[in-house]
Structure 1
Amino acid sequence: MAELKVSVVSADHEVWSGAAKQIIARTTEGEIGILPGHEPILAILSAGEVRVTTMDGNVITATASDGFLSVEHNVVTVVSRQAELV
Protein backbone atom coordinates (compact mmCIF):
# COMPACT_ATOMS: atom_id res chain seq x y z
CA MET A 1 0.00 0.00 0.00
CA ALA A 2 1.30 3.46 -0.91
CA GLU A 3 1.89 5.88 1.92
CA LEU A 4 2.52 9.55 2.50
CA LYS A 5 5.55 10.85 4.33
CA VAL A 6 4.15 13.69 6.45
CA SER A 7 5.87 16.45 8.44
CA VAL A 8 3.96 19.04 10.46
CA VAL A 9 6.30 21.79 11.61
CA SER A 10 5.94 24.98 13.57
CA ALA A 11 8.25 27.98 13.31
CA ASP A 12 10.57 26.63 15.99
CA HIS A 13 10.04 22.85 16.17
CA GLU A 14 8.67 19.74 14.50
CA VAL A 15 5.19 18.93 15.80
CA TRP A 16 4.76 15.48 14.20
CA SER A 17 6.22 13.40 11.40
CA GLY A 18 5.66 9.90 10.11
CA ALA A 19 3.92 7.70 7.57
CA ALA A 20 0.26 8.28 6.82
CA LYS A 21 -2.46 7.14 4.48
CA GLN A 22 -4.38 10.44 4.45
CA ILE A 23 -4.15 14.07 5.52
CA ILE A 24 -6.93 16.65 5.67
CA ALA A 25 -6.21 20.36 6.11
CA ARG A 26 -8.09 23.65 5.85
CA THR A 27 -6.78 26.02 3.18
CA THR A 28 -7.91 29.45 2.05
CA GLU A 29 -9.82 27.69 -0.76
CA GLY A 30 -11.54 25.21 1.59
CA GLU A 31 -10.76 21.83 3.10
CA ILE A 32 -8.43 19.56 1.12
CA GLY A 33 -7.80 15.84 1.42
CA ILE A 34 -4.49 14.35 0.34
CA LEU A 35 -4.04 10.66 -0.50
CA PRO A 36 -0.98 8.86 -1.91
CA GLY A 37 -0.45 9.75 -5.58
CA HIS A 38 -1.89 13.28 -5.20
CA GLU A 39 -0.74 15.81 -7.77
CA PRO A 40 1.89 18.32 -6.59
CA ILE A 41 0.29 21.29 -4.86
CA LEU A 42 1.23 24.30 -2.76
CA ALA A 43 -1.66 25.71 -0.71
CA ILE A 44 -2.00 28.49 1.86
CA LEU A 45 -3.40 27.30 5.20
CA SER A 46 -6.32 28.88 7.01
CA ALA A 47 -6.51 28.68 10.78
CA GLY A 48 -7.87 25.28 11.68
CA GLU A 49 -7.03 21.64 12.19
CA VAL A 50 -4.75 19.35 10.25
CA ARG A 51 -5.86 15.71 10.59
CA VAL A 52 -3.39 12.96 9.73
CA THR A 53 -4.58 9.35 9.49
CA THR A 54 -1.60 7.13 10.23
CA MET A 55 -0.98 3.79 8.55
CA ASP A 56 -2.49 1.95 11.53
CA GLY A 57 -5.68 4.06 11.44
CA ASN A 58 -4.97 6.46 14.31
CA VAL A 59 -5.84 10.10 13.73
CA ILE A 60 -3.33 12.75 14.79
CA THR A 61 -4.83 16.23 15.05
CA ALA A 62 -2.86 19.47 15.16
CA THR A 63 -3.92 23.09 15.04
CA ALA A 64 -2.14 25.20 12.46
CA SER A 65 -2.34 28.79 11.25
CA ASP A 66 -0.45 31.19 9.02
CA GLY A 67 1.41 28.73 6.86
CA PHE A 68 1.31 26.47 3.85
CA LEU A 69 0.91 22.86 2.76
CA SER A 70 3.16 21.33 0.12
CA VAL A 71 2.68 18.00 -1.65
CA GLU A 72 5.18 16.40 -4.03
CA HIS A 73 5.98 12.73 -4.71
CA ASN A 74 3.95 11.50 -1.68
CA VAL A 75 5.80 13.89 0.64
CA VAL A 76 3.50 16.27 2.51
CA THR A 77 4.94 19.18 4.45
CA VAL A 78 2.77 21.43 6.60
CA VAL A 79 4.63 24.56 7.74
CA SER A 80 2.91 26.90 10.17
CA ARG A 81 3.93 29.88 12.23
CA GLN A 82 2.20 28.25 15.18
CA ALA A 83 1.24 24.58 15.29
CA GLU A 84 0.61 22.17 18.14
CA LEU A 85 -0.97 18.79 18.74
CA VAL A 86 -4.52 18.80 20.02
Structure 2
Amino acid sequence: MAADRRVWDGDASRVVARTTDGEIGILPGHAPLLGVLVEGEIRISGEGADVVATIDGGFLSVDHDRVTIVAETARVGAGSEN
Protein backbone atom coordinates (compact mmCIF):
# COMPACT_ATOMS: atom_id res chain seq x y z
CA MET A 1 0.00 0.00 0.00
CA ALA A 2 1.32 3.43 -0.87
CA ALA A 3 0.35 6.37 1.31
CA ASP A 4 -2.42 7.35 -1.12
CA ARG A 5 -3.58 4.04 -2.61
CA ARG A 6 -3.64 0.26 -2.28
CA VAL A 7 -1.16 -1.41 -4.64
CA TRP A 8 -2.06 -5.05 -3.99
CA ASP A 9 -4.43 -7.04 -1.80
CA GLY A 10 -4.95 -10.78 -1.69
CA ASP A 11 -3.62 -14.11 -0.51
CA ALA A 12 0.12 -14.63 -0.90
CA SER A 13 2.36 -17.65 -0.49
CA ARG A 14 5.48 -15.50 0.04
CA VAL A 15 6.51 -11.87 0.57
CA VAL A 16 10.14 -10.79 0.26
CA ALA A 17 11.32 -7.33 1.35
CA ARG A 18 14.51 -5.57 2.43
CA THR A 19 14.58 -4.18 5.96
CA THR A 20 17.23 -2.22 7.80
CA ASP A 21 18.43 -5.61 9.11
CA GLY A 22 18.62 -7.23 5.64
CA GLU A 23 16.32 -9.13 3.29
CA ILE A 24 13.47 -11.07 4.85
CA GLY A 25 11.14 -13.70 3.44
CA ILE A 26 7.71 -14.13 4.97
CA LEU A 27 5.74 -17.34 4.57
CA PRO A 28 2.34 -18.32 6.00
CA GLY A 29 2.57 -18.82 9.77
CA HIS A 30 5.41 -16.30 10.22
CA ALA A 31 5.89 -14.94 13.74
CA PRO A 32 4.65 -11.40 14.44
CA LEU A 33 7.11 -8.78 13.22
CA LEU A 34 7.47 -5.03 12.81
CA GLY A 35 10.23 -3.83 10.50
CA VAL A 36 11.56 -0.69 8.87
CA LEU A 37 11.88 -1.05 5.10
CA VAL A 38 14.66 0.48 3.02
CA GLU A 39 14.57 1.50 -0.63
CA GLY A 40 14.24 -1.51 -2.92
CA GLU A 41 11.84 -4.11 -4.21
CA ILE A 42 8.97 -5.88 -2.51
CA ARG A 43 8.20 -9.25 -4.14
CA ILE A 44 4.84 -10.91 -3.58
CA SER A 45 4.04 -14.40 -4.80
CA GLY A 46 0.28 -14.64 -4.96
CA GLU A 47 -2.56 -16.55 -6.54
CA GLY A 48 -1.00 -17.33 -9.92
CA ALA A 49 0.74 -13.95 -10.21
CA ASP A 50 3.94 -12.42 -8.90
CA VAL A 51 3.92 -8.72 -8.06
CA VAL A 52 7.09 -6.63 -7.84
CA ALA A 53 6.90 -3.10 -6.49
CA THR A 54 9.74 -0.66 -5.91
CA ILE A 55 9.47 1.41 -2.75
CA ASP A 56 11.47 4.28 -1.29
CA GLY A 57 11.19 2.88 2.25
CA GLY A 58 8.41 2.34 4.74
CA PHE A 59 7.18 -0.11 7.34
CA LEU A 60 6.23 -3.80 7.36
CA SER A 61 3.99 -5.50 9.90
CA VAL A 62 3.25 -9.22 10.20
CA ASP A 63 0.48 -10.37 12.54
CA HIS A 64 -2.04 -13.23 12.43
CA ASP A 65 -0.97 -14.39 8.92
CA ARG A 66 -1.43 -10.87 7.54
CA VAL A 67 1.36 -8.75 6.07
CA THR A 68 0.85 -4.99 5.87
CA ILE A 69 3.34 -2.78 4.08
CA VAL A 70 3.03 0.99 4.15
CA ALA A 71 5.32 3.03 1.91
CA GLU A 72 5.38 6.65 0.85
CA THR A 73 5.75 5.61 -2.80
CA ALA A 74 5.27 2.28 -4.57
CA ARG A 75 5.82 1.67 -8.26
CA VAL A 76 4.60 -1.65 -9.64
CA GLY A 77 7.27 -3.07 -11.91
CA ALA A 78 7.18 -4.74 -15.30
CA GLY A 79 6.10 -8.34 -15.37
CA SER A 80 3.62 -8.11 -12.52
CA GLU A 81 0.00 -8.94 -13.03
CA ASN A 82 -1.34 -5.99 -10.96
- The verdict on a shared fold, with TM-score over 0.5 as the criterion, is yes
Report whether the alignment pairs 1:60 with 2:39: no
**TM-score, with length taken from structure 1:** 0.85
Runs of 4+ in 1 over 2 A off after TM superposition: none
What's the offset of the Cα at 1:80? Answer: 0.2
Which residue is equivalent to 2:21?
29
Residues 45-78 of structure 1: CA distance to partner in whole angstroms, max 9, x if unpaired? 010000000133x211001122100000110001
* Alignment length (residue pairs): 77
Identity %: 48
- Residue 67 of structure 2 aligns with which residue? 76
**What runs of 5+ residues in structure 2 fail to find an aligned partner?**
78-82
Q: Which runs of 5+ in 1 are unaligned?
A: 1-8
What is the root-mean-square deviation in Å for CA atoms of aligned residues? Answer: 0.8
CA distance, structure 2, for counterparts of residue 28 and residue 55 of structure 1: 28
More strand by share: 1
